[in-house]
Amino acid sequence: MFENKDTSKTPIAQLGEFGLIDHLAKNFEISSKTTVKGIGDDAAVLAPEKGKQLVVTTDMLVEGVHFDLSYMPLKHLGYKAVMVNLSDVYAMNATAQQITVSIAVSNRFPVEAMEELYSGIQTAAALYKVDVVGGDTTSSTSGLVISITAIGTATPEKIAYRTGAKENDLLVVTGDLGAAYLGLQVLEREKQVYKVNPNSQPDLEKYTYLIERQLKPEARKDIGGLLAELEVQPTSMIDISDGLSSEIIHICKSSAVGCNLYEDKIPLDPQVISACEEFNLDSTTIALSGGEDYELLFTVSTEDFPKIKANPNLTVIGHITKESEGMHLITRANTKIPLIARGWNAMEESE
């Protein structure tokens, strides 16, 4: 796949680096009033709004490490690469405004493949209302690398750091967890089946949500606005890229606090529960360690509980304790197990 042997496809060399940039960049229009100059000069020019701070974040995706093009269509990859970055901006409780996109690409990819990638980037940028204001294009010897930088803004008092969680605060998560990891398991399995029997027609109907969560994740742009509407300022916040347990640990360590997380409160989609049964996996382990859900995890003061408790987007999954109490999962069987970065440590039951 993606060997450019198809003579109907255009080799990148035919356009050259500058031709490729012009070709890919021609569709990007500027819409944010904070963008003064986008693509086309030595640097983009941005106009910071009065009273706001800037948040800047970068994520790099490497073929063979972060994605596999045998089941990840390039359009989806472009879309996901943008989401991964916007998610970090939203995790600061900020508004995303611009992105830059850098790619390293080998001659294995025709121009049409880059068009696909950019159509995903463009779709995401338009939907999330961010301007693509620049980037860099270079060659690579074999694989594809995409690095995106996202820029956002927020007033200083809105920005939510990892360091602000306080004892007794509630631990809150958006959406549901574990689906993206299971989507990957389904796709990996289909890839193996396809290798053995290329004519097999997989029935993926019952996994649609899982696959969508893996191939087309959506960053939680809505949560900043929702919290503002509810008049809730999170005391700390992080996005869930690596799995719930490692993100909780990041918040607890940064804030010098402990936590109790309740297994029975972790929100799971019915497809997650049924796929876990089928794959013989423990759904709590998947939610804790799966990763790539791009939901938000945050803490709020207990006074804010009435404002969030009825919201279908938000689930209280635990609370913050003193640092000396440690970080624990309280299981359905009411045992207390230390949380570790990959799930929890079943070997070290305490109490």
Residues found near ligand ADP in the complex (CB under 6 A): 21, 24-25, 39-42, 101-103, 132, 134-137
DSSP annotation string for 72-105 = S-HHHHHHHHHHHHHHHHHTTT-EEEEEEEEEEE
Do strands 145-154 and 257-262 pair parallel, antiparallel, or not at all (unpaired)? unpaired
The C-alpha atoms of residue 25 and residue 44 are separated, in whole angstroms, by: 13
From the CB of 136, what's the least distance to Mg ion, in Å?
4
C-alpha closest to that of 91 among 149, 162, 171: 162
Q: Give the type of residue at 38.
A: G
The C-alpha atoms of residue 216 and residue 78 are separated, in whole angstroms, by: 10
The yes or no reply on residue 22 touching Mg ion (CB under 5 A) is no
Among 6, 22, 29, 136, contact with Mg ion (rule: CB under 5 A): 136
Q: Mapping DSSP to helix (H, G, I), strand (E, B) and coil, where does residue 193 land?
A: helix
Q: Which is nearer to ligand ADP, 105 or 337 (CB)?
A: 105
From the CB of 133, what's the least distance to ligand ADP, in Å?
7
From the CB of 255, what's the least distance to ligand ADP, in Å?
37
From the CB of 115, what's the least distance to ligand ADP, in Å?
12
Q: Which does 21 bind (CB under 5 to 8 A by kind): Mg ion, ligand ADP, none?
A: ligand ADP
Window of 133-141, 179-187, 194-202, 262-270 that interacts with Mg ion by CB under 5 A: 133-141
Q: Which is nearer to ligand ADP, 40 or 202 (CB)?
A: 40
Look at the chain and count its residues: 351
From the CB of 64, what's the least distance to ligand ADP, in Å?
20
The C-alpha atoms of residue 214 and residue 276 are separated, in whole angstroms, by: 16
Q: Which does 41 bind (CB under 5 to 8 A by kind): ligand ADP, Mg ion, none?
A: ligand ADP
Q: Are 167 and 259 in contact (CB under 8 A)?
A: no
Q: Which does 19 bind (CB under 5 to 8 A by kind): Mg ion, ligand ADP, none?
A: none
Chain positions contacting Mg ion, by CB under 5 A: 136
